């Protein structure tokens, strides 16, 4: 899938069968209601094998199923929730635009009310799952005069006239996530497809990212753990200067440092998830710390473990090369490392 960029439909169907797509959704809609810790553990395990499938799963759970479950009206819940949980349909989260990434509040997509509908115009970019998604959580500016921060969240069905999924993004890593552009041209969305309250979409988006950033932390831990396991194995098999390279202390130093980093990241991720399950009202700082630290160490660890593999690690024959590429985006999507640090610092300073 990394080579072809093909969306892993079979994996997604299996996730649905196993109940891994509705992990934080109530049983009344067919969800497993397992909670945030279980979701983090599952995302880590799935990402260990396939980072793309891990991301698809995280987005579907935390940035589509959960938002409809928490903020959707009965119509939205009845139309989409069960199908999202079984994997019959997939969801996508459409915030980022060509001119608005880190500065999410400056999005330019507009939504103007006309009778019982909103008319959406604009473009989104780098939208994971978009290639196959049936339902999109779309953020648009609803008060052009005030612009900044007056944003509303909409649930947009793929079949809505005026909505189009555009160019597939050719990316360095997580290449099977069906990441595409979206365009809205006089796209009419019924009022009942507003998610949450009108004009309150930015805060809603930020709250959702608090949950889903734990998932990216878990994805990071899965990738890093896989890299470490490969490096341990390889260092025992590879012989240089007459002995396995694991007997050299410089290699041992790298393995030990990686192991401590992976364990520390896992603790941060599970702690943030635990606080969520425990009912802690605001987990913004803990989620940002988990995402920041885990994504950074995933890059450190895949870098060191590729180095242990030497020339073979640089070859596409070995999985470590893919893990190294997959790790980079962890520091970018769902808020860059620099944005996580801003979030952490602001939360410290406002105490």
Burial 225-255 (b: 16+ CB within 10 A, else e): bbbbebbbebbeeeeeeeeebbeeeebeebb
Q: Report the C-alpha gap between 141 and 188 in whole angstroms.
A: 15
- Does 271 participate in binding ligand CAA (rule CB under 6 A)? no
- Does 264 participate in binding ligand CAA (rule CB under 6 A)? no
Hey, which residues between 276 and 295 contact ligand CAA (CB under 6 A)?
Answer: 284
- Does 85 participate in binding ligand CAA (rule CB under 6 A)? no
- Does 83 participate in binding ligand CAA (rule CB under 6 A)? no
Q: Report the C-alpha gap between 54 and 56 in whole angstroms.
A: 6
- Does 59 participate in binding ligand CAA (rule CB under 6 A)? yes
Count residues contacting ligand CAA (CB under 6 A)? 22
Alpha helices by DSSP H, the chain? 9-17, 36-49, 51-60, 66-71, 74-76, 82-86, 201-237, 249-278, 284-313, 319-328, 337-349
Annotate 32-63 with DSSP letters as a single string: ----HHHHHHHHHHHHHH-HHHHHHHHHHIII
**In the set 80, 93, 136, 163, which binds ligand CAA (CB under 6 A)?**
93
Contact (CB, 8 A) for 30 and 86: yes
**What is the four-CA torsion angle of 97, 99, 105, 106, rounded to 10 degrees?**
-130
Q: 149 φ, ψ to 5°?
A: 75, -10
Q: Which is nearer to ligand CAA, 14 or 149 (CB)?
A: 149
* Window of 44-52, 76-84, 190-198, 334-342 that interacts with ligand CAA by CB under 6 A: 334-342
- Does 151 participate in binding ligand CAA (rule CB under 6 A)? no
Concerning whether 145 is annotated as a catalytic residue, the answer is no
**What is the four-CA torsion angle of 35, 25, 125, 326, rounded to 10 degrees?**
40
Percent helix, strand and coil across the chain, each rounded to 5? 55, 15, 30
CB of 233 vs ligand CAA, minimal distance in Å: 30
**In the set 20, 46, 64, 104, which binds ligand CAA (CB under 6 A)?**
104
Q: Which residue is nearest to ligand CAA (CB)?
A: 335
CB of 216 vs ligand CAA, minimal distance in Å: 7
Catalytic choice (44, 97, 131, 334): 334
Q: Which residue has the tokens 């098999």?
A: 237
- Does 221 participate in binding ligand CAA (rule CB under 6 A)? no
- Does 131 participate in binding ligand CAA (rule CB under 6 A)? no
Contact (CB, 8 A) for 223 and 326: yes
**In the set 13, 105, 150, 255, which binds ligand CAA (CB under 6 A)?**
105
* Window of 91-99, 107-115, 131-139, 224-232 that interacts with ligand CAA by CB under 6 A: 91-99
**In the set 2, 44, 210, 331, which binds ligand CAA (CB under 6 A)?**
210
- Does 71 participate in binding ligand CAA (rule CB under 6 A)? no
- Could you give the string, one character per residue 157-196, with x where binding to ligand CAA holds by CB under 6 A and - elsewhere? ----------------------------------------
**What's the Cα-to-Cα distance from 158 to each of 95, 164, 166, 235, 268, rounded to whole Å?**
16, 8, 12, 48, 37
- Does 53 participate in binding ligand CAA (rule CB under 6 A)? no
Among all residues, which ones are annotated catalytic?
334
Rule CB under 6 A: which residues touch ligand CAA? 59, 93, 95-96, 102, 104-105, 128, 149, 202-203, 206-207, 209-210, 284, 333-335, 339, 342-343
């Amino acid at each position: 899938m990394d080579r072809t960029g093909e969306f892993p439909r079979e994996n997604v169907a299996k996730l649905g069968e196993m109940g891994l797509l509705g992990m934080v959704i109530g049983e009344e809609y067919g969800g497993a209601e397992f909670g945030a810790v279980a979701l983090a553990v599952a995302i880590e395990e799935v990402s260990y094998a396939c980072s793309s499938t891990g991301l698809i799963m995280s987005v579907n759970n935390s940035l589509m199923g959960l938002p409809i479950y928490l903020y959707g009206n009965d119509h939205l819940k009845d139309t989409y929730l069960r199908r999202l949980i079984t994997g019959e349909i997939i969801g996508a989260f459409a915030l980022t635009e060509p001119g608005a990434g880190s500065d999410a509040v400056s999005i330019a997509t507009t939504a103007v009310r006309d009778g019982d509908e909103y008319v959406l115009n604009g473009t989104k970019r780098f939208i994971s799952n978009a290639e196959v998604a049936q339902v999109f959580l779309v953020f648009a500016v609803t008060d052009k005069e005030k612009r900044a921060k007056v944003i509303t969240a909409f649930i947009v069905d793929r079949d809505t006239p005026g909505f189009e999924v555009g160019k597939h993004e050719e990316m360095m890593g997580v290449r099977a996530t069906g990441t595409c552009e979206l365009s809205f041209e006089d796209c009419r969305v019924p009022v009942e497809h507003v998610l949450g309250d009108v004009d309150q979409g930015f805060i809603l988006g930020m709250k959702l990212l608090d949950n889903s950033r734990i998932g990216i932390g878990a994805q990071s831990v899965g990738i890093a753990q896989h890299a470490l396991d490969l490096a341990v194995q390889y260092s025992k098999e590879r012989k240089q200067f007459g002995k396995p390279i694991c007997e050299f202390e410089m290699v041992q130093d790298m393995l030990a440092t990686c192991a401590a980093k992976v364990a520390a990241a896992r603790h941060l991720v599970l702690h943030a998830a635990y606080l969520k399950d425990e009912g802690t009202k605001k987990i913004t700082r803990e989620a940002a710390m988990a995402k920041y630290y885990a994504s950074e160490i995933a890059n450190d660890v895949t870098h060191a473990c590729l180095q242990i593999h030497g020339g073979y690690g640089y070859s596409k024959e070995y999985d470590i090369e893919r893990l190294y590429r997959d790790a980079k985006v962890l520091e970018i999507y769902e808020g860059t490392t620099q944005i996580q640090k801003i979030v952490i610092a602001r939360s410290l300073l406002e105490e």
